């Protein structure tokens, strides 16, 4: 420290830079694990939010719980009794602050995410997207392709050896996971304590039965037939991020270094890992969810600092792809 202060050692700015680079390198080397952890966290959040009173609407009591508190407008009958301009102004301000403003904030989350991060939420946090990826991966192990409808040019190699464990896994995934989610998601509308009481006494109410059957049927059918087609064409949150991300001049996301195409070994791993059927080496695609899987495999193929993908803010430079990101001296480590 004395040396730094005396100007003889490395300066603080240099140390911070080194630290930043180390964190960046660690994150890039462990992108896949970090993404799975983030997805798992959001799945837990989705399932536990009602039980923790983070978010739920109790239909029976007509109460909205947010972060452990009942959300009220705070307008008892006494407030409406004041006929003066002050009284009605007070009521108007309460409605604006407690009803309209929160909704504006909630509705602006996904457009804002789109402007800043493109579809990164879809690739890193969306519980449904994570479950679809798992469905893809089980199908790949069982059938040797991602979709039940037929092989695609970008399908990765399937699993070798026995399939029995994957048959068991797919049974659990189709017949146990959907009803479990159904029970947990019913908690957004029925008090969780009541749900467990109904389950223990084997006396489910109409609301619980409807919730479980509805959620289970949706999950069962979407796991088998639809999967990421929902993300591409039907999910409102995904579409908002897609449109605002596409229009944003600064959206952060995955970029391909076209200027160094000559380093590409044409291994096609970046295409094979892309569950959104994007061609990562082509033009920017509005379906890219910035998952970073193409970045990870390309870095493994070409070596550290030599991969052809990076995360960066968008540069409007013609085709939307970024500037050079790796030194010219990089050469493929495994020419095919
Ligand atoms: S192009 Fe890359 S970052 Fe985008 S979805 Fe495909 S694998 Fe993920
Ligand atoms: S993973 Fe990298 S080296 Fe392989 S095809 Fe894709 S861009 Fe080229």
- Average pLDDT in the 292-296 region? 95
| Least distant ligand from the CA of 257 | 2
CA of 291 from ligand 2 middle (Å) equals 16
CB of 293 within 6 A of ligand 1: the answer is yes
Query: What's the mean pLDDT in 19-34?
Result: 77
Among 120, 293, 312, the mutation site with the greatest number of ligand 1 atoms within 8 A of its Cβ is 293
Q: Which ligand is nearest to the CA of 290?
A: 1
Find the ligand nearest to 266 CA: 2
Name the least confident of 13-17, 88-92, 256-260. Answer: 13-17
Angle at 45 between CA 97 and CA 232, to 5 degrees: 85
pLDDT confidence of residue 332: 47
Angle at 59 between CA 223 and CA 240, to 5 degrees: 45
Which atom of ligand 1 has the smallest separation from the CA of 273?
Answer: 7
What is the C-alpha separation between 135 and 146, in angstroms, rounded? Answer: 8
pLDDT band at 333 (very low <50, low <70, confident <90, very high): very low
Residue 320 pLDDT class (50, 70, 90 cuts)? very low
Closest-CA residue, ligand 1 atom 4, reads 288
* Cα torsion angle, 304, 306, 310, 315, sign: positive
222-228 long-range contacts, CB within 8 A, separation 24+: 222/128, 222/132, 223/131, 223/132, 223/135, 223/173, 223/174, 223/178, 224/135, 224/148, 224/174, 225/148, 227/132, 227/135, 227/136, 227/147, 228/129, 228/132, 228/136, 228/275, 228/276, 228/277
Q: What mean pLDDT comes out for the span 111-122?
A: 97
Burial class, 29, CB count within 10 angstroms (exposed 0-12 / middle 13-18 / buried 19+): middle
Question: What mean pLDDT is predicted for residues 171-200?
Answer: 97
pLDDT in tens, 106-115: 889 999 999 9
What whole-number distance in Å separates Cα of residue 138 and Cα of residue 145? 9
What is the residue with the minimal CA distance to atom 2 of ligand 2? 298
pLDDT at 295 over 70: yes
Per-residue pLDDT of 321-331, as tens digits, reads 445 555 556 65
Cβ of 291 below 6 Å from ligand 1: yes
Position 20 pLDDT exceeds 80: no
Tens digit of each residue's pLDDT (9 = 90 or more) over 36-58: 999 999 999 999 999 999 999 99
Ligand 1, atom 6, residue with closest C-alpha = 274
Q: Are 260 and 126 in contact (CB under 8 A)?
A: no
Per-residue pLDDT tens over the stretch 198-251:
999 999 999 999 999 999 999 999 999 999 999 999 999 999 999 999 999 999
Q: What is the mean pLDDT of the chain?
A: 87
Q: How far apart are CA 8 and CA 149, in angstroms?
A: 66
- Tell whether ligand 1 has an atom less than 6 A from the beta carbon of residue 290: yes
Using one digit for the tens of pLDDT, what is the confidence trace for 136-153? 999 999 999 999 999 999
Whether residue 288 is predicted with pLDDT greater than 80 in this model: the reply is yes
> Is the beta carbon of 129 within 6 A of some atom in ligand 1?
no
**CB 326 near ligand 2, within 6 Å:** no
């Amino acid at each position: 420290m004395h040396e730094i202060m005396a100007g003889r050692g490395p300066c603080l700015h240099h140390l911070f830079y080194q630290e930043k680079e180390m964190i960046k390198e660690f994150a890039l080397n462990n992108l896949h694990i970090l993404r799975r952890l983030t997805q798992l966290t959001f799945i837990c959040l989705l399932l536990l939010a009602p039980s923790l009173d983070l978010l739920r609407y109790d239909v029976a009591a007509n109460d909205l719980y947010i972060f452990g508190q009942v959300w009220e407008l705070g307008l008892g009958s006494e407030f409406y009794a004041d006929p003066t301009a002050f009284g009605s102004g007070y009521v108007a301000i309460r409605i604006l602050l407690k009803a309209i403003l929160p909704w504006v904030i909630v509705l602006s989350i996904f457009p804002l995410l789109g402007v800043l991060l493109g579809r990164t939420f879809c690739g890193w946090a969306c519980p449904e997207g994570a479950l679809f990826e798992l469905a893809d991966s089980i199908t790949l192990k069982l059938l040797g392709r991602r979709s039940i409808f037929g092989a695609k040019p970008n399908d990765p190699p399937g699993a070798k050896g026995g399939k029995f464990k994957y048959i068991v896994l797919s049974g659990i995934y189709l017949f146990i996971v959907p009803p479990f989610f159904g029970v947990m998601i019913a908690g957004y509308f029925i008090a969780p304590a009541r749900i467990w009481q109904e389950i223990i006494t084997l006396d489910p109410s109409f609301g619980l039965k409807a919730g479980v059957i509805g959620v289970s049927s949706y999950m069962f059918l979407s796991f088998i037939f639809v999967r990421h087609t929902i993300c591409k064409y039907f999910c409102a949150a995904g579409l908002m991020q897609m449109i605002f991300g596409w229009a944003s001049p600064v959206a952060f996301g995955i970029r391909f270094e076209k200027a160094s195409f000559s380093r590409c070994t044409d291994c096609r791993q970046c295409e094979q890992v892309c569950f959104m059927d994007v061609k990562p080496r082509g033009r920017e695609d509005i379906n890219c969810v910035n998952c970073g899987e193409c970045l990870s495999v390309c870095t493994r193929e070409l070596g550290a600092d030599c991969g052809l993908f990076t995360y960066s803010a968008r540069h409007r430079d013609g085709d939307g792809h970024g500037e050079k990101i790796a030194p010219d001296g990089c050469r493929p480590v495994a020419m095919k």
